[in-house]
Structure 1
C-alpha cells in the first residue's frame, strides 16, 4: 500500500509541476495557484502540501522544465582529437538547450521577476546543468593530458566557454524571441570554440 501511495503522490506532484510550467509560461508569475490546481486535477491544499508556497512551486517548475530539456540534450559527444570540432559540437548542443522555447521563456520570466524575488535569480544560477559542466571540464582536462591544448584550469575554461556561448546565443536571439537557424547556432558555437582553442593552444 505504501508503494501505491508513493506512486500516487509522485504522479500528483508531476501533474502539478506540468500544470505550473504551463501556467507560468502563459501568465507569468501572476499565474493563479487555483488554476494550477484545477488543471492538475487536485485541490489547492494539495499543491501547498507538496510545495509549501507559490515561490517554491515556481522554483520547482523551473527546475522541472530545465530537467526535461536537459535530459534531451544529455547524449555524449564523442572525442575526435580535434578540439575545435569537438567544442563546436558541444556548443551546438548547449545552445539548442539554452535557446529552447521553454527555457528561453522561463529565463525571460525569471529576469522580469528577480527584482521582487531575488531567490529566483540565485536559483537559476545554482541549477546550471551539472552534466554540461562536467562534460566540458572533463573534455578540456583530457585535451590537457593529451597535449592538444594547454589548459591549467579546465573547470574555469569550461565556464568561460559556456558563458560566452550562451550569452552570445541569447543576445543574437533577442533572449529567445527570435529563432536562430541551425547554421547560425553552429557559427556561434564554432566562433566561441575557436576563442577557447586559440587561448589554450600550445
Structure 2
C-alpha cells in the first residue's frame, strides 16, 4: 500500500462518497468540482467526506483508478479473446477510446499532467491502473494471436504501444489541446478502422 493510499479510510459510506464524487467530477471536471457539491451529491456531510479522503486530490485519484479498472473490465467482458484481431481489436479499441475521449477521461489526463510534478503518485497510480493495465492485456492478446498464426510480431511490447497510439490519431490531440470539446461517433469509427487496417497491414499474416 502506498503512503497516499494509507491516508484514505474505508467505511460504511465510502462507496457512496466515491459515487457522488464521480458524478460531480464528470459534470464539472477536477478544478470545477467543489467539496460542497461532492458532499451534497454523495448525501454526506463535509466532515464525513473528509474523514474518508483528507483532500480532493485523493478523492479524484480514487475515482480515476476505479473508473480505469471498471473500463478495462468492461472491455474484457465485451470481447472473446480467442477471436482473430480483425474482430477483437476494433471492439476493444472503441470501448476503451470512448472512455479516454470522454470528459472524465480527459479530466483524469489533465490532472495527472498538471499535478504529477508536485504529486508523482497520481501519475504512477493512474498509469498502473490505466494505460499499463490495458497495455499488459493487449500484449497478452497479441501473444495468443501470434501463437494461433493470426499475426507475426517480433516485438509485442512495441506493437501494443503502436496500436494504442494509432487509435488516438487526430481525435485525442484535438480534445487534449481544447481544439474541440466533443467528437462524432463516425470520427471515432474512422480512426479505429484506420488503426486496425494499418496495424494488420504491418503485422497480419
TM-score (norm 1): 0.73
Larger RCO: Structure 1 or Structure 2 (Cα < 8 Å, ≥ 6 residues apart)? 1
Give how far 1:195 is off.
2.8
Q: 1:16 corresponds to which residue?
A: 17
Give how far 1:173 is off.
4.3
Report if the CA contact (8 A) 1:74-1:131 is conserved: no
Report the CA distance shift for 1:47/1:94 in structure 2 as closer, same or farther (over 3 A): same
Report if the CA contact (8 A) 1:144-1:150 is conserved: yes
Q: Deviations over 1:67-116 (max 9, x none)?
A: 454454443323554x3444233322222232233323333344344455
Give how far 1:181 is off.
2.6
Instruction: Say whether residues 1:152 and 2:162 are aligned partners.
Output: no
SS of the equivalent of 1:9 reads coil
Moved more, 187-196 or 85-94: 85-94
Q: 2:98 corresponds to which residue?
A: 96
Runs of 5+ in structure 2 lacking a partner? 1-9
CA RMSD, Structure 1 to Structure 2 (Å): 3.3
Figure out how many residues of one structure are paired with residues of the other and give that number: 193
Give how far 1:125 is off.
1.8
Instruction: Say whether residues 1:188 and 2:176 are aligned partners.
Output: no
Give the one of 41, 44, 52 matched to 1:42: 44
Runs of 5+ in structure 1 lacking a partner? 1-7
TM-score (norm 2): 0.72
Give how far 1:175 is off.
6.0
Report if the CA contact (8 A) 2:39-2:45 is conserved: yes
Report if the CA contact (8 A) 2:101-2:172 is conserved: yes
Moved more, 154-163 or 64-73: 64-73
* Correspondences of 1:47-126 after superposition (within 5 Å): 47-78=49-80, 79-81=82-84, 83-114=85-116, 116-126=118-128
